[in-house]
Amino acid sequence: MTVNVSDVVVKNAIGSEQRLGDLGGEVLLIVNVASRCGFTRQYAGLQALQDSYGPRGLKVLGFPCNDFGAQEPGSLSEIQQFCATTYGANFTLFDKVHAKGNKTAPYDLLTQVEPAGDVEWNFEKFLVGRDGTVLGRFKSAVEPDSAELSAAIEAALAA
How far apart CA 110 and CA 127 sit, in angstroms, is 10
User: Which of 94, 128, 129, 99 lies closest to 111 in space, CA to CA?
Assistant: 99
Peptide bond into 55 cis (omega under 30): no
User: Is 99:129 a contact under the CB 8 Å cutoff?
Assistant: no
Active-site residue set: 37
On the CB side of 100, CA atoms within 13 Å amount to 14
User: Is 133:159 a contact under the CB 8 Å cutoff?
Assistant: no
